Amino acid sequence: MADSWVNSAQRAGSDLHLDLSGPGSRRAVLIRALRDAVREGRLPPGTRLPAYRSLAADLGLARNTVADAYAELVAEGWLAARQGSGTRVAERALPPRSVRRSPTAPVRPAAPAYDLRQGTPETASFPRTGWLTSARRALNTAPDDAFGPGDPRGRIELRRALSDYLTRARGVRVTPERIVVCSGFAHALRLLFGGTAGGGAGPLRGPVGVEAYGLPFHRGILEGSGARTVPLDLDEGGARIEQLAGEPRVRGVLLTPAHQFPTGGPLAAVRRAAVIDWARANDALVLEDDYDGEFRYDRVPVGALQGLDPERVVHLGSVSKSLSPAVRLGWMVLPAHLVDGVLAAKGEREAWASVPDQLTLADFIESGRYDRHVRRMRQRYRHRRDQLVTALADRAPHVTATGIAAGLHAVLRLPPGTEASVVKAASWQGLAVDGLSAFRHPGAVMPGADGLVVGYSAPSERAYGAAVDALIGCLPPSDAVPEGLPR
């Protein structure tokens, strides 16, 4: 290999000199030479580099070698690649000067400039005025006994409001007596499997079927309570329910049937019926995580699975997506035979949700403010989803967004082998985003896929456009897909 190279003025990109001497593989030497050129200022920010095919031809290297070098430098933040504008030197700020710290003082990581992680609604849109109105009215009209020891099921005002709302909006078959108020979905799992202190004190036992992709946090709660999790493969119809037949010890399965998390899409109708048949035949239970059932855009509403058999399905919901995770309120709609066991696991007083918040939410629902807020946010999130899809179509058409008919996130399918470098590049550029592999069950046997789970609900309206621009800038260009791999 030659010791140096100067590209021809006829080639795409700017003239530059690269020192290709020194030890290492051809890829490592090329990466080092490009880093040095950027570090020394010979390649200033914004400089367009030659297309990797041209550079490969001039250097006598394999195109994959140059493509891999470009991809690594994009991941490290030295370069930026955008569809239609080639690969350029990134607009990198100088690193901040180091600050002397006490050796025992922890260093808190800097907050990301843009947050496209899933799971959080837009905090700036919390309905403060309506919530305050409901809080005032709820406190002014609350009976005196609301401020003393109460019902561990939760306040009857909230259970009645939830019963009416869930019946009307989600097709749940419920009475207030079947509802137990909790502090959110994670609290519900702990009550069902581990009690408030963990250790398997809840009414449910044994292995639990889970979807091959889901929240590791939820799997951790189950496994921490002694419940082994058994992954079920996923396809376009949702969880492969037939695989439960091969797990005779499983007596419970946790599903996201309205909108599979995180891959998207509802559980197919035939599989909804099949999981109910399985539960009846095996004296088993289905745990239905209805985490974002209110937010759908391009499809008819998918009703709750619980409506098919209230004695075999535990319906679990909260306001963490529809209002805010700071409002620590959720609910369980339980089969009759589970109510006493859950209340025993809940214990006396300590695990109860705030009564003033329960009364406020009850009024917020009954006044119609909750419905109006959900409709308003549904339109806002749909507009954001459309912005994301349009930006991808215009500037990165080789990246496909899936799971976009409902919910607050999309999955961006990436070329094989690129997920880790894209997540790394995004982090370097101050963009927080999750890789799809982070949600994969460690015991899953179905083929994996590279992708990003992109939440479009968290940024403010003002910041969302810039967040999408930053995301597009971190995606691999179409011509950087290694040869021989599908595009």
Both tokens of residue 95?
């690193």
- Say if residue 14's pLDDT is above 80: no
Do the domains spanning 4-89 and 127-367 agree at the CATH topology level? no
The whole-model pTM stands at 0.76
Fold category of 127-367 in CATH:
Aspartate Aminotransferase; domain 2 (3.40.640)
Across the range 95-105, mean pLDDT stands at: 44
Q: Where are the domains of the chain?
A: 4-89, 114-122+372-480, 127-367
- Give CA angle at 140 (134, 145), nearest 5°: 110
Neighbour-count burial of 208, counting CB atoms closer than 10 A to its CB (0-12 exposed, 13-18 middle, 19+ buried):
buried
For residue 458, CA distances in Å to 119, 190, 255, 462 come to 8, 27, 24, 11
Sign of CA dihedral 427, 468, 414, 436: positive
Fold category of 4-89 in CATH:
Arc Repressor Mutant, subunit A (1.10.10)
Percentage, residues of the chain above pLDDT 90: 59
Q: At 132, which amino acid appears?
A: L
Classify residue 60 as left (phi > 0), alpha (psi -120 to 50) or beta.
Answer: left
- Give CA angle at 457 (451, 460), nearest 5°: 125
Architecture of domain 114-122+372-480: Alpha-Beta Complex (3.90)
- Say if residue 165's pLDDT is above 80: yes
DSSP state of 440: B
343-402 per-position pLDDT tens digit: 988 877 656 789 999 999 999 999 999 999 999 999 999 999 999 999 999 999 999 999
43-55 per-position pLDDT tens digit: 888 888 888 788 8
- What is the C-alpha radius of gyration for the chain, rounded to an integer number of angstroms? 26
Q: CB of 219 within 8 A of CB of 254?
A: no
Both tokens of residue 243?
């695989």
Q: CB of 474 within 8 A of CB of 431?
A: yes
Longest dimension (CA), the chain: 87
> In whole angstroms, what is the distance from residue 55 CA to residue 63 CA?
8
Could you count the other beta carbons within 10 Å of the beta carbon of residue 105? 7
- Say if residue 299's pLDDT is above 80: no
Q: What is the pLDDT of residue 93?
A: 41
Q: What is the pLDDT of residue 108?
A: 44
Q: What is the pLDDT of residue 479?
A: 58
Q: CB of 116 within 8 A of CB of 455?
A: yes
213-268 per-position pLDDT tens digit: 999 999 999 998 889 999 999 999 999 999 999 999 999 999 999 999 999 889 99
Both tokens of residue 320?
């963490």
Q: CB of 48 within 8 A of CB of 88?
A: yes
Q: At 462, which amino acid appears?
A: R
Asked if the bond preceding 257 is cis, omega within 30° of 0, the reply is no
Range name among 60-74, 158-172, 305-319, 399-413 with the lowest pLDDT average: 60-74
* Helix, strand and coil in the chain, % to nearest 5: 40, 15, 45
What average pLDDT does the chain have? 86
Q: What is the pLDDT of residue 15?
A: 53
Q: CB of 84 within 8 A of CB of 395?
A: yes
User: Dihedral (C-alpha) 100, 103, 108, 109: value to the nearest 10 degrees?
Assistant: 70
Q: CB of 189 within 8 A of CB of 342?
A: no
Taking alpha carbons only, the member of 353, 302, 321, 304 closest to residue 188 is: 353
> In whole angstroms, what is the distance from residue 412 CA to residue 472 CA?
11
Residue 407's SS3 state is coil
